[in-house]
Structures are given as structure tokens and as C-alpha cells.
Amino acid sequence: MSLNQTVLPAVKNMKDFEKLLQTSTEYIIILESRLGLLHKVVRAGQKAGKKVWVHVDLIQGLKADDYGMEFLGRVVKPDGVISTRSHVIQQAKKYKLTSVQRLFLIDSQAVEHNVSIIKKVKPDYVEVLPGIVPGMIKEIKDQIGVPVIAGGLIRTEIETKEAIQSGASAVSTSRAELWNF
């Protein structure tokens, strides 16, 4: 599974979301929203021809259990989900949603633990945070054999390029100045 763009815009507010609907971006990540608005936002993005991924852990009012994922998969129907929870990733597959598992580079033990989980769960993508550690991007990608998205603390075009050169398939960022669509 490959992405057709190197910068994935991650939106925190509807003003940025509405602007992105008018751009050539193929993907939009919804970082923050309320459960009551989520269906409408996802539909608007899809109607505009966008693939909308939802960060499940950050949606207010959504519990990331079996029932929450059933609601997401059957009612909201985003194109993909992002989560730190392997259970969410497993449920996403059940509903044929693209799955992105977040991996925080806290320390070696956390990385080893998460890599073993990722190998079992097999998400479509792994988002490595912070994305400004090029050496770790390559190491994680080599270990898991899953495309890597670099995210978190990426503030400049140089950092974006370094992440891509290190093996990331894409960079996710909420910094609108890096979207360039």
C-alpha cells in the first residue's frame, strides 16, 4: 500500500479542514473533533474526493472499544483510522479501514515492545513519533516491514525532507505552512 503524497495534512479545526477541501490533497487526517460532528466531516471530505483518516484516540465522545469501532466502521465510515491502541487497529481491519498504528519513541524498551505488537497486529502503516529522528525511522521501517509515516515535532521543510530521505513514506503534520497543495 503506497501513499501518493509525502505530506499528510492533520487538521485540528474546521477552518483548516474547509481550506483543504479546495486543494489537491488526496488525504486529510482529522486529529480532533466531536463525535456529533464526525460523520458530517467525514462525508464532506469524501464528497470532495478526499480520503479521510480519523485519529480515534482524539475524538471527543468516542470510546475506542468494540462498540465505538462498530459505530465508526458502520456509520461514520472513514477511509482509515489512526490509534496507539492495537485493539483499534484490529477492529479497523474488520471494517476494511486503512489502519495506522502510532508508535512513540520514548525509550528502547517501549520501541521493542511496540515493534513486537506491530508485527502481530500488522497495521497498514506505522506512524513514528516524533518524526524528527531520521535514524529511528529507518530502524523501525527495517524491523517491521510496514510503511512508516513520520509525525510529531516536524516544523520545517528540511525536517520533512529528512524524514522522507530516511525512509518514511510520508510525513503527517498539523502545520499548514508545510501542506503546500
Over the stretch 94-129, which tens digit does the pLDDT of each residue have? 999 999 999 999 999 999 999 999 999 999 999 999
Q: What is the dihedral of CA 55, 61, 63, 66, to 10 degrees?
A: -90
pLDDT reported for residue 17:
97
**What local confidence, expressed as pLDDT, does residue 140 receive?**
95
Mean pLDDT computed over 58-73: 97
Grid coordinates in use for 116? 513486537
Half-sphere exposure of 65 (CA within 13 A, CB side): 3
**Main-chain phi, psi angles of 122, to 5 degrees:** 55, 65
Kindly report the average pLDDT of the chain as a whole number.
96
pLDDT band at 33 (very low <50, low <70, confident <90, very high): very high
Q: Decide if pLDDT at 1 tops 70.
A: no
Question: Which are the contacts of 119, defined by CB distance < 8 A and separation ≥ 6?
Answer: 144
Q: Please tell me whether residue 174 adopts helix, strand or coil conformation.
A: coil
Helices (H) and strands (E) in the chain, counts: 7, 10
Sign of CA pseudo-dihedral 149, 169, 120, 113 = negative
CA distance 83 to 64: 9
Whole-number pLDDT of residue 2: 80
Tell me the percentage of the chain whose pLDDT exceeds 70: 99
Q: Determine phi and psi for 89, rounding to 5 degrees.
A: -65, -45
Quote the pTM value.
Answer: 0.95
Residues above pLDDT 90, as percent of the chain: 97
- Average pLDDT (65-69) is 97
Length of the chain as a residue count = 181
CB 63 within 8 A of CB 81: no
